[in-house]
Structure 1
Amino acid sequence: VPMTLADMIPVPDLGPKKIKLFWQTLGITTLAGLQEAARAGQLRALPGMGEKSEAKILAGIESLSRRTGRTPLEKAWPFAEEQLALLRGVKGVVAAEVAGSLRRMRETLGDVDILVAATLPELVMAAFTTQGAVARVLGGGPIKSSVEFTNGMRAQVWVHPPEKFGTALQYATGSKDHNVRMRELALKQGLSLSEHALTPVDGGAEILCATEEEVYARLGIPWVAPELREDRGEMAAALAGTLPRLVTVNDLHADLHMHSTWSDGKATILEMAQAARARGLRVIAITDHSHSLGIVQGMKPEDLAARQMEIDAAQAEMGDSLRILSGVEVEIKADGTLDYPDEVLAGLDVVIASLHVSLRQPREQITERLLNAIRNPHVDIIGHPTGRQIPDRDPADLDMDAVLAAAKESGVALEINANPRRLDLNDVYARRAKELGIPLTINTDAHAPDQLALLHFGVAVARRAWVEAGEVVNAWDSEKLLGWLKAR
């Protein structure tokens, strides 16, 4: 078997069976050969193919070519956490923080940047560069080192004196455009801002800042959360005193999207409930897939009564400590209809409607599918609205202006899916939804108890979108949340 066949696996909507078919029937062994054959129309006549399938494969190959090679947040975050734990344990270390795109919680990043405040930089450099997982040291020095790890990740560490850590962290966090605004503000006050200090332009003594808060305070503005530092109006808001009070993980009392063993989840309803209670949640919704999404063994309407019995038993076990709602993630089918009839949806506490199939339909067609779901009076939430998966699947080609307008009109909530492979809505559309007054909900879409810990990724998206707690339905108190659901 040619090794180059593996290069085709990342192509969306292309599995091992089709790869084998192309190889054995057309002798295609490379990704370039596959693209050439698709452009020549050679795939459509093969068994199980067709013109639409051929077009999907070609679009998938083109999607791969647009990827930047940047690391998804899903991979970078746990890696960075491990590095921070290591460095914070080194003698003489006062503080260690991630910087750059990761601290701003962008969905992808280049290298992982870490800043350390320490009195013994040589110990930090030694601990960082001599780890067993280091494949090679790319560059080293007394206060800065860059390494590549055996998992392909690259990271850089800078060590700064504790008394200069604030300016260093502010500078290294970025973004570049935010830092330009900071330097402009400093100059208006007769100061030059660098990673080392604030320095009077008239040659006076350096002003050292051990914390970021000191940097911003010295310039006369409140501290700006890293997620906002993209030059999208945050400096003007800081100067005007109108920065948002961003939502936090602790603000969220409910998770309205999770799965159990009744579809493709890995845990029982009681196990999910116990894990949610341990994380401080007060309300959860069990939203198993509907049946037409066959790959996940979804639920048929006649299964709901038996599942309700399990919910009731779990509720009795949990008592007043946690409310368990009965819900569904109903499939928006390729023809635009929902998988369950309205009379079934009306009997559920929470209805999430989601796109999973036929995501490469033309814009007008797939947009109309989503609009049909938004306008259904029984749908409470649109789950992961664009259907993307980072980095493997581009978002559906939706007319988001039409989607947002319809959501505003209907009052349906749009989900920020916290799974780091989705982060959908993204920050740009979540901010537009916020500005339009569309309710948002941040859910984990957990398929196992440990995935409830992914919530902070969704909160980060919301924070990048300037979202406050009052704009997130699962940050409302239980009475208000349940009242909203009942009134839908």
Structure 2
Amino acid sequence: MVTNAEIAGRFEEFADLLEADDIEYKPRAYRRAAENIQAHPVPIGDRVADGDEGVLEEIDGVGDAISSKIVEYVETGEIEELEELRAELPIDIADITRIEGVGPKTAGKLYRELGIETLDDLEAAAEANEIQKVKGFGPKTEQNIRENIEFAREVGQRYLLGEGRPLADDVLAFLEDLEAVQRCEVAGSIRRWRETIGDVDVLVGTEANEAVIDSFVNWDSVDDEIESGPEKASVRVGEIRVDLRVVVPEEFGAALQYFTGSKDHNVTLRNYAIDRGMKLNEYGAFDISELADAEEGQRVGDRVAGETEDGMYEALGLPWIPPELREDRGEIEAAETGELPDLLTRDDIRGDLHTHTEWSDGNTSIEAMVEAATERGYDYYGVADHAEGPGIVGNMGLTDTEILEQVEAIREVDAAYDIAVFAGIEANVDANGEIGLSADVIDALDIVVASPHSALDQDAEAATERLVHAIENPAVDVLGHPSGRMLNERSGLEFDATALGRSAAEHETALEINANPRRLDLWGSAVQAAVAEGAPIAVNTDAHQPSTLEFVRWGVHTARRGWAEPADVINTWELEELRAFLH
């Protein structure tokens, strides 16, 4: 199966290589197409393979030329023009551009000047002090490359949650239709909704191992069978590995708890069990209080739970702990004392406060975005296109004059729809924490989202001071994607999340969970630290087209990983309460 993520990845690579080759205009078109393909709600590859090329006409930014390339890729597994470009520029572009400050143009220059093709080449050149000799580079850039090589290697082995979870949903749908499958669920980091995953883990409860495994490895979507045996099998779907494990139904709950993890959660839980004369493993919960020390074995003792996951926790006198919390960050203690949070759900979200339109770098009109928000049943909706400033790609930011013009357009849309439409802007937090908006613009707006887009290599102390300064600005309502990271691409700012949370609580500024699956910024542990300080949180999609309003799914689960309750999240509040919060 050729996934949307895989097709989008080819056009991202296309754009990077074209940019590395100093080609203008085309890269932006390919990036826009890649974003829209990634976000498209139906599997494009399957539809094209079935002869339905009309599906491509539904995708904004995909014209005849790009459509023909998609069809070529689905049918042959290659795009001839991309292969030619790869031969011309044999650069591991995705790996190299994961280094903060090394974009496609830089990668192209380093290839032409030093012959750098891989991360190993880049590391060797940096260690030999060759990079600083290239015009436009210097010792600081070279040092930054040395410091970020390991990060680039590590993230290159993981996939975005937004790539892996849709595949996991497809796997579950396939397995649930098999007669021999009694129960099935995803496990591992994908069930804990971590922002990146190594593979997709799936668990099945069945009395017919052989039939389930045979059906799984012969699933139409499988591209390659890696291995299979009587209890487990591994395949590759597109670029992602999927691991299936089968267990007897009466041990399904124990196996689900065990294989969901995290390792740290399981270790702490097992020790908690031992202190109470119990033993936990993938086969069940066993009372071993009456056993002699010499008796060993996985199923030794009086089995008291294992069929359900709830039962595994109940056997220890604990309530079920949601998977998102299982990171050994105090969840077991909270369960013991009855203090687990009542976590945010998707139904709690009443609106989105950070989205984009064609006025800056979005793909459609204000009206189209508002209509999509209305269809989702939202009570309110915020347009926050980019203001001009450092870090905005392609000079797509709005001037003060253009912002005021857009405010008037938004007011007209607000009057025409039942949903409340807020006029906002995404301002740029510069290296000193300033946002660069005039007083007239601030007065005209309903929402100011302030986000860092440049100078993302500051040390943690400077970054914390910078972000706190922005939070303290009375014009700022939401601190957007605070680290500026792009998952698997750049690490972004490091900062003291507790300090940000404390300042946000004091100044009534919301900290954003940017739900774009390439960001998920803030992340779970940072949200938890901020919520503990009383900071308000905003779950926003940063949507650039109607379909990406669906990114809210990733934002909600990230909020849950941060122990956020509905009251912590400003876009769960009633309209009038939210209006009162906005400065």
Question: So what's the TM-score if we normalise by structure 1?
Answer: 0.90
1:407 to 496, 504, 526: 504
In the alignment, which residue of structure 2 is the partner of 1:250? 347
1:262-341 → structure 2 map (5 Å cutoff): 262-292=359-389, 293-295=392-394, 297-319=396-418, 322-334=419-431, 336-341=433-438
Give the Å deviation of 1:53: 4.2
Instruction: Say whether residues 1:158 and 2:245 are aligned partners.
Output: yes
**Which secondary structure does the structure 1 equivalent of 2:492 belong to?**
coil
In the alignment, which residue of structure 1 is the partner of 2:452? 355
**Which secondary structure does the structure 1 equivalent of 2:317 belong to?**
coil
In the alignment, which residue of structure 1 is the partner of 2:527? 430
1:167 to 242, 254, 269: 254
User: After alignment, is 72-81 or 367-376 more displaced?
Assistant: 367-376
**Which secondary structure does the structure 1 equivalent of 2:560 belong to?**
helix
For 1:232 and 1:5, the matched residues in 2 are separated by 37
In the alignment, which residue of structure 2 is the partner of 1:420? 517
Structure 2 stretches lacking a partner, 5+ long: 1-87, 291-299
- What amino acid is the match of 1:180? V
For 2:326 and 2:475, the matched residues in 1 are separated by 39
The 8 Å contact of residues 5 and 19 in structure 1, kept in 2 or not, is answered as no
In the alignment, which residue of structure 1 is the partner of 2:229? 141
- What amino acid is the match of 2:222? V
For 2:129 and 2:316, the matched residues in 1 are separated by 62
How many residue pairs get matched?
483
Instruction: Say whether residues 1:96 and 2:184 are aligned partners.
Output: yes
In the alignment, which residue of structure 1 is the partner of 2:492? 395
In the alignment, which residue of structure 2 is the partner of 1:216? 313
2:264 to 154, 172, 177: 177
In the alignment, which residue of structure 1 is the partner of 2:164? 76
- Give CA deviations for 1:139-184 in whole Å, capped at 9, x if unaligned: 32233212233x2311211223333322221122122232234334
- What amino acid is the match of 1:125? I
- Give CA deviations for 1:420-451 in whole Å, capped at 9, x if unaligned: 21111121121111111111111111111111
Structure 1 stretches lacking a partner, 5+ long: none
Q: CA 1:275–1:34 in 2, change beyond 3 Å: closer, same or farther?
A: same
For 1:21 and 1:311, the matched residues in 2 are separated by 43
For 1:307 and 1:340, the matched residues in 2 are separated by 15
**Which secondary structure does the structure 2 equivalent of 1:326 belong to?**
strand
1:232-243 → structure 2 map (5 Å cutoff): 232-243=329-340
- Give CA deviations for 1:81-114 in whole Å, capped at 9, x if unaligned: 1111111111132322111111111222223211
User: After alignment, is 82-91 or 53-62 more displaced?
Assistant: 53-62
In the alignment, which residue of structure 2 is the partner of 1:87? 175
Give the Å deviation of 1:342: 3.1
- What amino acid is the match of 2:122? L
- What amino acid is the match of 1:454? F
Give the Å deviation of 1:362: 4.4
Give the percent of matched residue pairs that are identical in Structure 1 and Structure 2: 39
The 8 Å contact of residues 483 and 521 in structure 2, kept in 1 or not, is answered as yes
Give the Å deviation of 1:304: 2.5
The 8 Å contact of residues 305 and 315 in structure 2, kept in 1 or not, is answered as no
The 8 Å contact of residues 91 and 120 in structure 1, kept in 2 or not, is answered as no
User: After alignment, is 37-46 or 93-102 more displaced?
Assistant: 37-46
For 1:68 and 1:2, the matched residues in 2 are separated by 20
Q: CA 1:66–1:441 in 2, change beyond 3 Å: closer, same or farther?
A: same
Q: CA 1:334–1:81 in 2, change beyond 3 Å: closer, same or farther?
A: same
Give the Å deviation of 1:479: 1.6
For 1:26 and 1:232, the matched residues in 2 are separated by 46
For 1:380 and 1:277, the matched residues in 2 are separated by 23
**Which secondary structure does the structure 1 equivalent of 2:522 belong to?**
coil
Q: CA 1:28–1:167 in 2, change beyond 3 Å: closer, same or farther?
A: closer
1:370 to 467, 478, 487: 467
Q: CA 1:182–1:20 in 2, change beyond 3 Å: closer, same or farther?
A: closer
CA RMSD of aligned residues (A): 2.6
The 8 Å contact of residues 342 and 378 in structure 1, kept in 2 or not, is answered as no
- Give CA deviations for 1:442-474 in whole Å, capped at 9, x if unaligned: 111111111111112122222122111111111
- What amino acid is the match of 1:468? E
In the alignment, which residue of structure 1 is the partner of 2:218? 130
Question: So what's the TM-score if we normalise by structure 2?
Answer: 0.77
User: After alignment, is 288-297 or 236-245 more displaced?
Assistant: 288-297
For 1:36 and 1:143, the matched residues in 2 are separated by 44
- What amino acid is the match of 1:303? E
The 8 Å contact of residues 355 and 387 in structure 1, kept in 2 or not, is answered as yes
Give the Å deviation of 1:260: 0.8
Instruction: Say whether residues 1:22 and 2:110 are aligned partners.
Output: yes
Q: CA 1:421–1:16 in 2, change beyond 3 Å: closer, same or farther?
A: closer
Give the Å deviation of 1:387: 0.9
For 2:118 and 2:533, the matched residues in 1 are separated by 47
For 2:495 and 2:442, the matched residues in 1 are separated by 25
For 1:294 and 1:179, the matched residues in 2 are separated by 44
1:115 to 203, 207, 210: 203
- Give CA deviations for 1:7-55 in whole Å, capped at 9, x if unaligned: 5344333334333333333444554443344445444454444454444
The 8 Å contact of residues 514 and 555 in structure 2, kept in 1 or not, is answered as yes
- What amino acid is the match of 2:426? E
Q: CA 1:31–1:241 in 2, change beyond 3 Å: closer, same or farther?
A: closer
**Which secondary structure does the structure 1 equivalent of 2:512 belong to?**
strand
In the alignment, which residue of structure 1 is the partner of 2:96? 8
- What amino acid is the match of 2:107? I
The 8 Å contact of residues 541 and 552 in structure 2, kept in 1 or not, is answered as yes
User: After alignment, is 309-318 or 390-399 more displaced?
Assistant: 309-318
- Give CA deviations for 1:314-369 in whole Å, capped at 9, x if unaligned: 324422xx111000000123454323123311321010111001211344544443
Q: CA 1:19–1:217 in 2, change beyond 3 Å: closer, same or farther?
A: closer
Q: CA 1:5–1:213 in 2, change beyond 3 Å: closer, same or farther?
A: closer
For 1:185 and 1:58, the matched residues in 2 are separated by 43
